[in-house]
Amino acid sequence: MAGPHDHDHHHDHDHEHPRLSELQLRVKALESLLVEKGLVDPAALDEFIDIYETKVGPRNGARVVARAWTDPAFLDWLRRDASAAIKSFGFEGRQGEHMVVVENTETVHNLVVCTLCSCYPWPVLGLPPVWYKSAPYRSRAVIDPRGVLADFGTALPENVEIRVWDSTAELRYLVLPRRPAGTEGLSEDELADLVTRNAMIGVEVVAASESLQ
C-alpha cells in the first residue's frame, strides 16, 4: 500500500487503485459515524496523529543510548530499572510501560521482534516501520536472524551469539548498541546523532560517522 501518492485524490485516477480508494472511503465513513455518535472527538484524532508523526520517534531512544554510553551511573540504572531510567527523560506510557534494555557486547548481539503482532517500544522508538510489522521479518527473525541481518547489510563475526527477543507479553525491549570506536571526543548529542532506529531494534550496528572514519 506504500507508494508515492501520499495525498488525497480529488480527480479520476482513483480507478487505478480501487483497493486504496475503497479503504479511504471505509475509514472516512467510520470516522464520520463515530464522531456523529459522540464516540470520537475529531480534535483528539489530530492530536494522536501529531504526537506520533512529529513528537515521539527514535530520536528519543537515541538520547537514552547516548546517555548510557557516556554516564556509567545511568547505565547502571538502565540495567537495574530500565522503565524508571527511561522515564527520567519523560519517555513513558503507552507501549513502554515495562521496559527492558538488552546490551550488545563483543560476543552477544540482540535482536527484537514480535512474531505474533507488532509490539514495539513506542515512547523510545515511535511507531514501528512497516517491515517490523510484516511477515518477512516476523517469520524469519527467530529462525534465521543472520539472514535478516544480511538483508540490512549487517554481517557479524561467526563467534557472536545472537539473542532474539520475541515480545510475547507487555515487556518492551530496547537494544543498547555498542559504542563505535573513535567516538571518544564526541558529546552526548553528537553520539545520539549516530544512533539509528535500526540499531536499537538490532538489525544494524552503530557506525562512526563518515567524518570520523
Partner 1 sequence: MNGAHDMGGMHGFGPVQDEPESDRFHGEWERRAFALTLACGGLGQWSIDQARYARELQPPPQYLTNTYYEQWLHGLETLLVDRGLVTAEELQTGKPAGPPPAGIKALPAAQVVKALQQGSPYTRPVDHPPGFAVGDRVRVRCDHPLSHTRAPRYVRGRTGTVALYHGGHVFADTSARGERGIADHLYNVAFDSTELWGIQSQPGAVHLDLWEPYLEPA
Residues 103-162 that bind partner 1 (CB under 8 A): 115-118, 126-127, 129-131, 133-146, 148, 151-152, 161-162
Residue 178 interacts with partner 1 (CB under 8 A): yes or no = no
134 is catalytic: no
- Nearest 5°: CA angle at 177, between 174 and 182? 155
Residue 1 interacts with partner 1 (CB under 8 A): yes or no = yes
Q: Which is nearer to partner 1, 68 or 200 (CB)?
A: 200
Residue 15 interacts with partner 1 (CB under 8 A): yes or no = no
How far is 200 from 203, CA to CA, in rounded Å? 8
The answer to whether the beta carbons of residues 192 and 118 sit under 8 Å apart is no
Residue 164 interacts with partner 1 (CB under 8 A): yes or no = yes
- Nearest 5°: CA angle at 125, between 209 and 104? 60
Residue 103 DSSP SS3: strand
* Ranges within 27-86 binding partner 1 (CB under 8 A): 27-34, 36-41, 43-49, 51-53, 57-58
The answer to whether the beta carbons of residues 173 and 102 sit under 8 Å apart is yes
Cell of 72: 556509567
114 is catalytic: yes
Residue 185 C-beta: closest distance to partner 1, Å: 26
Residue 178 C-beta: closest distance to partner 1, Å: 17
Q: Which is nearer to partner 1, 125 or 186 (CB)?
A: 125
Q: Which is nearer to partner 1, 90 or 185 (CB)?
A: 90
167 is catalytic: no
- Nearest 5°: CA angle at 114, between 110 and 116? 150
Q: Which is nearer to partner 1, 68 or 99 (CB)?
A: 99
Residue 13 interacts with partner 1 (CB under 8 A): yes or no = no
Q: Which is nearer to partner 1, 65 or 167 (CB)?
A: 167
The answer to whether the beta carbons of residues 86 and 61 sit under 8 Å apart is no
- Nearest 5°: CA angle at 163, between 158 and 172? 150
**Residues whose CB is less than 8 angstroms from the CB of residue 53 and which lie 6 or more positions away in sequence, other chains included:** none
88 is catalytic: no
Q: What residues are annotated to the active site?
A: 114, 117-119
